[in-house]
């Protein structure tokens, strides 16, 4: 689905030779919308979906070589940004409501989509070789993120958000884009801020939206260059860490999000019985995988990188 070249300049060369078409532009709008939804959906990570959709490499290349090819990158990222904003604004309320009532089914769709792209991420992670360090990085990252999500799911406290607190929340969201596998929504849930955030976005409350955006910008400016350097110097380790976080976070979602929705309390909230709820989970997961494979084929055929 996406490619990473063998030297640091190849990504720049690829952006210079991108040939846009209306369909490739539309595909990136759709990607951006899904990334935006992933950024606010508990258990998922906007950064993971950026990796899945082949956007992450271009972001790292752009930030690591700024301001070279700024105009080309700007128009490449424009549809992604438009889609991301649309995804967040249009689906914030829907995501909040669906996560409250139909969390297992809704999340299973996204996890199926991510699962369908794992072979592609595995191939990309090994483009510069795959040795002992890569396997160790993958294993440790998967175990660590799995344990953190499995045992860190309980809400720690509830704080009353203000301008500074929302900026802090935006920094978490920004880190979710820069560090694949990090799900900022989980942390916002822990501190009792998630529902207030989703309500604020869906209601176009700029006292929430503006500081959140400021926080995202601060996170990107502060940490993106560091991540870019790490990818340039330690490609194998970094990409296998990403693969590990994708696998670990995806697996952790089943016991932390899906399973609770199939308990007596979860079924009572959704109004479903166990068998139909479980069947819907399986169906949504399969639909996510099928959609991922079909989306990948369309992208390969109409990719602007060709």
Q: Within a domain: residue 245?
A: yes
pLDDT above 80: residue 210: yes
pLDDT at residue number 139: 95
d(CA 233, CA 164): 35
Q: Note the pLDDT tens digit of each residue in 252-266.
A: 878 877 888 888 888
Q: Within a domain: residue 207?
A: yes
Q: Which domain holds residue 168?
A: 10-302
Q: Are 294 and 13 in contact (CB under 8 A)?
A: no
Q: What crossing angle do the helices spanning 22-40 and 274-302 adopt, rounded to 10°? A: 140
Q: Within a domain: residue 189?
A: yes
Domains in the chain, number? 1
Q: Within a domain: residue 288?
A: yes
pLDDT at residue number 96: 63
Q: Within a domain: residue 3?
A: no
d(CA 12, CA 20): 16
Global pTM reads 0.63
pLDDT above 70: residue 51: yes
Q: Within a domain: residue 30?
A: yes
Which of helix, strand or coil describes residue 240? Answer: helix
Please, which pLDDT band fits residue 173 given cuts at 50, 70 and 90?
confident
Q: Within a domain: residue 4?
A: no
Arithmetic mean of pLDDT over the chain: 78
Nearest to 39 by CA among 102, 101, 8, 85: 85
Q: Are 31 and 53 in contact (CB under 8 A)?
A: yes
Q: Within a domain: residue 2?
A: no
């Amino acid at each position: 689905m996406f490619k990473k070249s063998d030297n640091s300049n190849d990504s720049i060369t690829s952006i210079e030779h991108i040939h846009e078409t209306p369909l490739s532009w539309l595909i990136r709008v759709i990607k951006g919308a899904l990334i935006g939804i992933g950024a606010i959906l508990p258990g998922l990570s906007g950064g993971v979906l950026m990796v899945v959709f082949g956007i992450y490499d271009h972001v790292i290349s752009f930030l690591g070589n700024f301001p070279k090819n700024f105009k080309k990158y700007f128009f490449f990222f424009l549809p992604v940004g438009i889609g991301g904003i649309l995804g967040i604004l249009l689906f914030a309320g829907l995501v909040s409501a669906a996560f409250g009532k139909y969390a297992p089914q809704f999340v299973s769709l996204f996890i199926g989509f991510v699962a369908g792209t794992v072979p592609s991420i595995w191939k990309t992670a090994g483009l510069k070789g795959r040795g002992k360090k890569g396997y160790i990085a993958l294993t440790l990252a998967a175990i660590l993120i799995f344990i953190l999500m499995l045992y860190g799911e309980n809400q720690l406290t509830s704080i009353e958000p203000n301008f500074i607190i929302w900026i802090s929340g935006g920094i978490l969201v920004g880190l979710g884009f820069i560090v694949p596998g990090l799900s900022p929504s989980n942390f916002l849930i822990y501190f009792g801020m998630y529902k207030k955030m989703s309500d604020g976005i869906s209601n176009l409350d700029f006292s929430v939206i503006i500081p959140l955006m400021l926080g995202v910008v601060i996170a990107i400016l502060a940490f993106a260059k560091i991540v870019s350097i790490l990818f340039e110097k330690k490609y194998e380790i970094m990409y296998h860490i990403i693969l590990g976080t994708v696998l670990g976070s995806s697996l952790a979602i089943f016991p932390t999000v899906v399973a609770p929705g199939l308990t007596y309390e979860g079924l009572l909230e959704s109004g479903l019985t166990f068998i139909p709820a479980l069947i819907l989970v399986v169906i949504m997961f399969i639909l996510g995988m099928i959609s991922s494979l079909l989306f990948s084929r369309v992208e390969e055929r109409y990719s602007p990188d060709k």
